[in-house]
Amino acid sequence: MITSAQRRRQISPEIATQPTRANEAMRGCLDRLTNHIPEERLAVRIQHQLLRIAQEAISNAVRHGKPTVVTVTLRWRASRLTLRIKDNGSGIPQALPSKNKGMGLRSMRERAAQIGAKLAIQAGLGGGTRILVTVPISV
């Protein structure tokens, strides 16, 4: 049986490995930025859902957008935690994010809702896709 202590992973290093796992052949780079997030005070369920959202976003970018750069930013500011995944790939069709097509986008929306987060999926200016997850935090 896995204890909650064993389930607790540091979300920043785990997210950082996702582009490599998603596509070993991706010839690009991952830019990750964090600002000393006190992860030990962050609920395990929030860490887990953010990790899964990041995994899906990165996997979608690699699978559909063929980016050369994926930027993952995790920031803690006052009463919120913000996860941003941005890529320079071919982008997402404007109509797609608002519809419930595709299990991946639906899954990201459901996971965000489970932790009370706001999820925004946008086509990036000049190409690529931007995904922004904002979680209210009270620790």
pLDDT at 15: 58
Asked if 13 and 30 touch (Cβ cutoff 8 Å), the reply is: no
Segment 93-120, tens digit of pLDDT? 765 555 556 788 899 999 999 999 999 9
* CATH number, residue 83: 3.30.565.10
> Cα 117–73–96 angle (5° rounding)?
60
Question: How far is Cα 7 from Cα 43, in angstroms, rounded to an integer?
Answer: 11
Residue 63's H or E segment, with its range, is none
pLDDT > 90? residue 9: no
- Output phi, psi for 43, to 5 deg: -55, 140
Question: How far is Cα 64 from Cα 136, in angstroms, rounded to an integer?
Answer: 30
Full residue range of the structural domain in which residue 49 is found:
4-136
- Output phi, psi for 36, to 5 deg: 50, 60
Going from the C-alpha of 107 to that of each of 54, 111, 126, the distances in angstroms are 11, 6, 26
DSSP 101: -
Tally of domains in the chain:
1
Least confident segment among 10-14, 25-29, 35-39, 59-63: 25-29
For the whole model, what pTM was predicted?
0.74
Q: At 2, is the pLDDT very low, low, confident or very high (cuts 50, 70, 90)?
A: very low
pLDDT at 26: 44
**Can you tell me whether residue 75 is helix, strand or coil?**
strand
Q: At 22, is the pLDDT very low, low, confident or very high (cuts 50, 70, 90)?
A: very low
